[in-house]
Structure 1
Amino acid sequence: MNPRSPSGLDAFLDPAAHVLLVRDPALGPGEVAALGRFTARADQRSLTSPMTDELGAVLEQVDAVVVVVRDRVALRRAVAAAQGLPRAERVACVLLELVGQPPTLVPSRTWPRLTSLAVDTADGGARVHASFAAPVPAGQVLAELARRTSPAHLMAPGWPVLGARLDQPHHWPPGDALAIVGSEAALRDPAPDDTADVLLLDTPPDGTAEAPHPVTGRVQVTRVPTGTLSLGPLDDVVLNPVGFSRRPTVPAAHLRPLAGGRHLLQVRAPGATDVVVDSRAGLGDGHVEQLRPYTGVHVDWDGGDGPVSYARVVAGLAMAGVPLTADPVPAWARALLVPALVAELDRDADLTDDLAREVRSIRLRRAALAGHGAGAWRRGTADTVDVRPEPATRVSVLLTTRRPDMLEHALRQVGRQRGADLELQLTTHGFDADPALLAAFAERSGVPVTAVGAPTDRSFGNVLDDAARRASGDVLLKMDDDDWYGPDFVTDLLLARGYSGADLVGCPPEFLFVEPLWVTVRRRDVTERYTSVVAGGTMMVSREAYAAVGGFRDTRKYVDANLFRALRAAGGTIYRTHGLNYLLRRQSAGHTWEPGLGYFVSRGRSRQQWRGFRPSPLLEHEPTDRPARTPHEEPPG
C-alpha cells in the first residue's frame, strides 16, 4: 500500500473510539502501517492473540474491527479463528494482495440493517468496509466475505467438527466457520454444546482418560497429524487450476532457497520477475497468478522452513496445475506427499511440448487435489476417528440412445470409469435393450443400471428429463452413446465441481474424430475457465440447479443449449475443465446439430490435425474401442 495515498479507512473509522486492528499471523505490525493514520491509535493484535481486555475479560464489543490479511488464501484460513472476534457497528477487511474479483459483502437477513458499504481495489489489494445500524459479530462478516471468494452458495466443509489452538494457525481449516479455535483448556471444556470431535494439536494427549461428551456420546479425540495428513488442509477453493495457461510465455524455472532466508523459496527464470514464496505462510493465490505463464517449475527439494512447509508448497503448486518436474523425490517428501503425487513427480516429463505439458499438469493436479485438498484431508482425518465423514458424491449418468449398434460401446465408456460412485439411467429411444447385455454390464462394472424404453415420438428433451427425475444421484451427468471417455472423466469433473463451485461443469469438444474423413482434430478451445457452454455429452449439473431451472426443455433439438441458457438466466455458473478425457465422434448423419463436416476440420478452428484415430493420452483407450478401419484409411501420421 502507498502510505501517501488517501485512505478511505481513515474517514470510515474516524467516528470510532475503540478500533480493534487484527492482523493475520503471517503479517507483522510494519506491514499494516501504511493503511492509514488510524493504525497509530488502533488496538493492534495478531489473530493468534486472545481477544480479551486489560483485565483478562472476553472482549465482547468494540466500535470497529479491521481485519488485515495477505490474500484470499489467508482470508479463508482466518475464518475459524475470527469467530472469536467481538461485535462492532463498523467492520472492515483489507486484502493486501488481490487476484480476481474482490469479495463483496452480502448481508445476512439476521444481521442489523446495513447502513453503508464500500469496496476499494486501489494499490493492488482490496478494502471492504461496512457499517450497520447496530453491532454485528465481526467473525460472521469475515466468514461472509470468505464465502464470496467462491461461487458456491454454501461454505460447508462437513464433518467432523475440528478444534485447533489459537496459537497454532497451521491447523486452522480453511473456510470453516464451524471449527472451534481457542485455548487448549477451552477446547477440552466438556460444558459447551459445540465441542470439537477432533482436536488438532502439536503435542499428543497426556493419557488421562476422558468421559464421553454428553452431546456427541463420544470421547473427544486428540490428533497430532502425521504422514500426509501433517500437511494440513490445502485450500482448493483458491489453489486450483482455474486460469491454467496452455501457451506458456516464460521458460521453465527452478524452485530454490533464496539467499539470506532459508524459509524463503525463489522461482527464477530468465527474463521473468522472481516469484518469492515464504514457506512459513505457504503458497498464495498471487504466487499462482505470477506462475501461470511459466512453462514449468523444477523442484530441487532444498530450502524452506522444514520438510512439512516445503511439501505444502510443492503440493499447492501441483493443486494449482503448475507443471512440475523434480529431482528424485527424497524419503522425507515421500512420507509427506500422497503416493499418486510422488509417482507422477518420479516420472520424466517433456514440458516443451504443449500437449505433454498439459497432460503432466492434469496428472499432478488430480493427485494433489484428491490427496491434499481440504475435503480429502478432512475425510482422511475422519477415517482416523469414529466420526462419519462426508459421503461420496453419487453420480447419475443419463444415457439416451436411438442406435442399437452403439449400445455396447456406450456401456463400455460408463463401465470403465474409476474412483466414482455411479448409477446408470439408460433410455433406449425406439427399441428395447437386451436384458442379458445389461446384466453382464452391471456385474462386470458394479454400476447399477435402470433401463427404460421410450417411444420414438417422445421428444429428446422429455426423454432426458424422465431419466433425470428417475435418478437418485446428487449430480446428473449426461453422456452420449457414440463418444469416447477416459477412465478419469467422471472423477476429474467431480474435482472441477469442487474447486470451481459451479452449478454445471463439463469439457469442451477439444478432440474430435471426424469418422467419414478419418481425421482426428484438436480444436482451439479455452479451458479451466468459467464459460457459457460445454460439450453436451460431458455436462454434470447439480440436482438443485437442475430442479431450479425446470430441467430439460421439451424440444427435439438443442436440449443442451436450452439448459445452458436457462441456467445462465437464473444466475447459475458454468465451468469448463480440460478436454483431454473426452473424444467426440462426428459421423455423416444422426446428430441433433449438423453444421457440416467442413466446420470441424476448418484450420481456423483447429490447433492440430492427424490422419487416423489419435485420441489424447489421457483417454487410455482400449483396442476394442478403436473405430473400425475403412479401405480409405491411411496409417496415423
Structure 2
Amino acid sequence: MIRAVLDTALRSRAAGTVLVAHSGPGTARPAARAAERSAGQALDLDGNGWDAAPRAGREVALVVLIAATPADLRRVVPDTGTLRAAEAVIAVLRASPQAGRSLPSPPAAGWTDLIDMRVCRSPDGACAYAFSFTDPVEVSEVVGAVARGMASGRGETVATVSEVSADAHRRAVADTAWRRLSAPGSAEGGTGFARPSVADVPAVDERVVNPIGFTRASKPRRGRLVSRGGRWVLEVGRSVRWRVPEDGAVSDVAVARLRDLRSVEVEWGRHSGPLAAAHTVAGLAAAGIPLFAGAAPRWAGGLGGELHGLLRSVRGADLEDELAREEHSIRLRRAALRVHGAVARWRGSVAGALAEPVVSVVLCTRRPEMVGFALRQVARQRGVEVELVLALHGFGLDTPRVRADVAAFRDAGHAAVVFEAGPDAVFGSVLNGAIARASGSLVAKMDDDDWYGPDHLADLVLARRYSGADLVGCATEYHHLEGPDLTVRRLVHSERFADHVTGAALLTDRTVLEEFGGFRPWRSGVDAGLLDDVARAGGSVYRTHGLGCVVRRRTDGHTWRESAGYFLKDPQRHWPGWRPSALLESDPGDAPDGARATTTQGSER
C-alpha cells in the first residue's frame, strides 16, 4: 500500500522537481529507487544534511523523506528549513512502534491550503504520511507536524530537542582529536587523546527514546552488546537482535525490540568509536533497558559519573529479581535523562543555564498531628525547586505544634505559603484556594499521610517531559495497611498512558488547572473529577512508576472506602510489616507506628 502511494505520487509529479531524502540505516536503497523513478535527486541527510537541496528560487513539486524510524525523522526536522516550500510532501517511516496510529499535529495557524492528507500503514510496521496543498508549503512545517504527532501530548518545538544532538555532533566532528577518537577501532581511546565529557556525547531525544512501554515482567533472556567485526551488535543467545548504527543512535524501534529482555550486558569491546558507544549506552539507559557492565575504559567518563557507576553497581544475577530489575531501570533512566536528555542539555547550554520550572505542592490537611510528617515528605524532595502551599482545613497556624512545624520547615530553607480554610469549606474548594496562592508553573498534589521518596516530584517532572502528557501521576502500587500491619504491592501497569493515576500523586501545568477551573468543588472524588475533565477535553494522562510512593491505609477516615481485604486480592504481593521499595529511601523515623520493620528493602524474594 505504501509503495502504491509513493508510486502514484511520483508519477503525478513527473512534470515538476522531485526531491528524495533519506535518514537512518537501510534507507539509501529505497531512496535511490524513488529518485531514479522520478528523475530527481537523492539526498543523504545523515552525511550531508539538506545542504544539497534546492535553494530559494527553485520550485519543488514533491519532497519525499524516507526515514528508518521516528527518531531518524525527528533528528532531521530542523534542517528542512533550508528548503523553500513544496506542493506535496510524503514522509515514509520504514518502521515505527506506533505505525500509522498517530496523526500529524499541524501548526497552530493550521493549513488553509491543504487538499488531501493520507496516513497509510503496512502490516510490517511501515507507514506513510502524504500531504497535498493548493500552494507550496514550508517543508519543515509539514515534517515537523509528523514528528510532533509521533510524540503525542503537549506541543513542543521539535527543532529544540533535535538541534542539541546535531550541535554536539557538529562540534565533535570539527575537533581533530575527536575525529581520531571516534574512528572505528579506537575502542580504548589510547594515550594522548582527550578524555570525553558529557557535552561531547550527542543528546537523547527523550520524546521518542524513553521509558514508555517498560514492562515489569520479562522473558528469561539476557542480551549482550558485543563486538562483531569491529562493530557493536546486541546478541540474544547466538542470534543478533540489533545491529548498532555507526553513529550509535538508539531509536524507539530498537528499544521496542529489546523490552522483553531481562537485562543487557555491555562488553566494552571494539565498536564504531567511543563517541558512538557512549551515545548507545546513554540511549539504552534513557529508555530504561536494564544494563550492567564491568570496568569501563577511560572514555566512558562521557556517560557521567552517576550513570557510569550504576552500570557497575549490579550483576546479571541481581536483575533476576523482578523488583530489583525495575528499581535499577528507574535509576538508569533518571541518570541518563537528567544528563543526556535533549531538554536538559539544551537548558544547560544556555548562558547561566535555564532554571527548571518551579513545582508548587498543594497539600491540604484536616489533621494537625500530621503536619510535621507531611512537611518532612515535601522537604526531602530533591532535583526540583519546590514551593509548598499548605492549606490548613478547619484549624489555624496557632494550633499546638503546627506553627513550630512550619517554622522548622522554613528555617531549613524551604519556601512555604500557608492559608487557613474554614471547616465548612469543601475539599475541592480548599485545593483551589491553595492553587490560587501558588506561584509555580507546575502544580503537584500530595497527601498529608502518605510516604514519598526523595525523587518523587523529580520523577513526575521527568515523566511529564518525555510523555508530553497534560497530567502525570503514579501507579497506585504500594500500600501499608495499618490494621493487619502489611505492606501490599498491587501490580498495576505503569509507564504508559492511562485513564487513572493515584490522587495522592498528581502533577500538571497550572494552565491546565486554569482551563478547567481547578478541581471540582466537591467534598470527595475531586481527583477522579479532574481526570475526567482532562479526558473530556481531549487531554492525555500518563502513569509513571509507583515505587516512590506508599499510600497509608488507616482503619478508618478515608474517602475511598475499601476494606483491607480489597488490597489483598490478586494480583498482588504482600509482606508483614513495613516493606517499601528501596527507591522510597525510607526514613526510619517516619515508619508506620507499631509496624514491624524488615531488614531487606527492594526485593521480592
Q: TM-score, normalised by structure 2?
A: 0.89
- Structure 1 letter corresponding to 2:374: A
1:79 to 77, 80, 86: 77
The reply to whether residue 396 of structure 1 matches residue 360 of structure 2 is yes
SS at match of 2:86: strand
The reply to whether residue 11 of structure 1 matches residue 12 of structure 2 is no
CA deviation after TM superposition for structure 1 residue 162, in Å: 6.3
Change in CA separation of 1:307 and 1:49 when aligned onto 2, cut-off 3 Å: closer
Match of 1:133 in 2: 134
- Structure 2 letter corresponding to 1:46: D
Distance 1:339 1:50 in 2: 36
- Structure 2 letter corresponding to 1:76: R
Match of 1:511 in 2: 478
Match of 1:220 in 2: none
Q: Contact between 1:279 and 1:310, CA under 8 Å: does it hold in 2?
A: no
Change in CA separation of 1:513 and 1:39 when aligned onto 2, cut-off 3 Å: farther
CA deviation after TM superposition for structure 1 residue 593, in Å: 0.9
Q: For 1:303-314, what aligned pairs fall within 5 Å after superposition?
A: 303-314=270-281
CA deviation after TM superposition for structure 1 residue 173, in Å: 7.8
Change in CA separation of 1:388 and 1:157 when aligned onto 2, cut-off 3 Å: farther
Q: Contact between 1:612 and 1:636, CA under 8 Å: does it hold in 2?
A: no
Deviates more, 1:341-350 or 1:148-157: 148-157
SS at match of 2:593: coil
Q: Contact between 2:89 and 2:131, CA under 8 Å: does it hold in 1?
A: yes
CA deviation after TM superposition for structure 1 residue 346, in Å: 2.0
1:501 to 449, 457, 468: 468
SS at match of 2:434: helix
SS at match of 1:131: strand
The reply to whether residue 203 of structure 1 matches residue 147 of structure 2 is no
Match of 2:65 in 1: 67
SS at match of 2:60: coil
CA deviation after TM superposition for structure 1 residue 25, in Å: 6.4
Match of 1:522 in 2: 489
- Structure 1 letter corresponding to 2:197: G
Distance 1:635 1:318 in 2: 31
1:352 to 317, 320, 338: 320
1:327-370: CA deviation from partner (whole Å, max 9, x where unpaired): 11222112x11111012112124110000000110111100000
Aligned residues, how many? 570
- Structure 1 letter corresponding to 2:331: R
Match of 1:246 in 2: 216
Q: Contact between 1:25 and 1:46, CA under 8 Å: does it hold in 2?
A: no
Q: Contact between 1:159 and 1:388, CA under 8 Å: does it hold in 2?
A: no
Match of 2:21 in 1: 22
SS at match of 2:133: strand
Q: Contact between 1:298 and 1:324, CA under 8 Å: does it hold in 2?
A: yes
Change in CA separation of 1:374 and 1:50 when aligned onto 2, cut-off 3 Å: closer
Q: Contact between 1:253 and 1:296, CA under 8 Å: does it hold in 2?
A: yes
Distance 1:409 1:254 in 2: 45
CA deviation after TM superposition for structure 1 residue 388, in Å: 5.2
CA deviation after TM superposition for structure 1 residue 622, in Å: 1.1
1:445-494: CA deviation from partner (whole Å, max 9, x where unpaired): x2211111111110001000110111111111100011100011111111
Distance 2:488 2:152 in 1: 33
Deviates more, 1:490-499 or 1:278-287: 278-287
Q: TM-score, normalised by structure 1?
A: 0.84
Question: Which runs of no fewer than 5 residues in structure 1 stay unpaired?
Answer: 164-169, 175-198, 206-223
Distance 1:624 1:124 in 2: 53
Distance 1:389 1:157 in 2: 20
- Structure 1 letter corresponding to 2:408: A
Q: Contact between 2:24 and 2:69, CA under 8 Å: does it hold in 1?
A: no
Change in CA separation of 1:23 and 1:585 when aligned onto 2, cut-off 3 Å: same
Change in CA separation of 1:634 and 1:86 when aligned onto 2, cut-off 3 Å: closer
Change in CA separation of 1:25 and 1:459 when aligned onto 2, cut-off 3 Å: closer
Distance 2:36 2:513 in 1: 49
The reply to whether residue 280 of structure 1 matches residue 247 of structure 2 is yes
1:425 to 389, 400, 407: 389
Match of 1:599 in 2: 566
Q: Contact between 1:159 and 1:389, CA under 8 Å: does it hold in 2?
A: no
Distance 2:597 2:434 in 1: 41
Match of 1:585 in 2: 552
Match of 2:438 in 1: 471
Deviates more, 1:11-20 or 1:454-463: 11-20
Change in CA separation of 1:309 and 1:399 when aligned onto 2, cut-off 3 Å: same
The reply to whether residue 416 of structure 1 matches residue 380 of structure 2 is yes
CA deviation after TM superposition for structure 1 residue 10, in Å: 1.4
Distance 2:219 2:25 in 1: 32
The reply to whether residue 616 of structure 1 matches residue 587 of structure 2 is no
Change in CA separation of 1:388 and 1:83 when aligned onto 2, cut-off 3 Å: farther
Change in CA separation of 1:107 and 1:426 when aligned onto 2, cut-off 3 Å: closer
Distance 1:337 1:60 in 2: 44
Q: Contact between 1:319 and 1:368, CA under 8 Å: does it hold in 2?
A: yes
Match of 2:517 in 1: 550
Match of 2:104 in 1: 105
Distance 1:471 1:57 in 2: 50
Q: For 1:207-286, what aligned pairs fall within 5 Å after superposition?
A: 227-259=197-229, 262-263=230-231, 265-270=232-237, 274-280=241-247, 282-286=249-253
2:339 to 371, 374, 384: 371
Match of 2:348 in 1: 380
Question: Which runs of no fewer than 5 residues in structure 2 stay unpaired?
Answer: 177-193, 601-605
Identity of aligned residues (%): 36
SS at match of 1:539: strand
- Structure 2 letter corresponding to 1:590: G
Q: Contact between 1:512 and 1:584, CA under 8 Å: does it hold in 2?
A: yes
- Structure 2 letter corresponding to 1:9: L
Q: Contact between 2:104 and 2:150, CA under 8 Å: does it hold in 1?
A: no
The reply to whether residue 436 of structure 1 matches residue 404 of structure 2 is yes
The reply to whether residue 92 of structure 1 matches residue 90 of structure 2 is yes
Match of 1:329 in 2: 296
Distance 1:110 1:591 in 2: 48
SS at match of 2:116: strand
Match of 2:156 in 1: 155
Q: Contact between 1:73 and 1:284, CA under 8 Å: does it hold in 2?
A: yes
- Structure 1 letter corresponding to 2:103: T
Change in CA separation of 1:635 and 1:253 when aligned onto 2, cut-off 3 Å: closer
Q: Contact between 1:26 and 1:281, CA under 8 Å: does it hold in 2?
A: no
SS at match of 1:516: coil
SS at match of 1:63: strand
Change in CA separation of 1:323 and 1:25 when aligned onto 2, cut-off 3 Å: closer
SS at match of 1:14: helix
The reply to whether residue 120 of structure 1 matches residue 120 of structure 2 is yes
CA deviation after TM superposition for structure 1 residue 277, in Å: 1.7
SS at match of 2:255: helix
Change in CA separation of 1:326 and 1:99 when aligned onto 2, cut-off 3 Å: same
Distance 1:124 1:347 in 2: 37
Match of 1:221 in 2: none
Match of 2:537 in 1: 570
- Structure 1 letter corresponding to 2:145: E
The reply to whether residue 627 of structure 1 matches residue 592 of structure 2 is yes
Q: Contact between 1:21 and 1:39, CA under 8 Å: does it hold in 2?
A: no
Deviates more, 1:303-312 or 1:428-437: 428-437
Distance 1:248 1:589 in 2: 38
1:1-24: CA deviation from partner (whole Å, max 9, x where unpaired): x9xx85211112322122111122
Change in CA separation of 1:314 and 1:481 when aligned onto 2, cut-off 3 Å: same
Deviates more, 1:12-21 or 1:400-409: 12-21
Q: Contact between 1:512 and 1:583, CA under 8 Å: does it hold in 2?
A: yes
Distance 1:405 1:492 in 2: 28
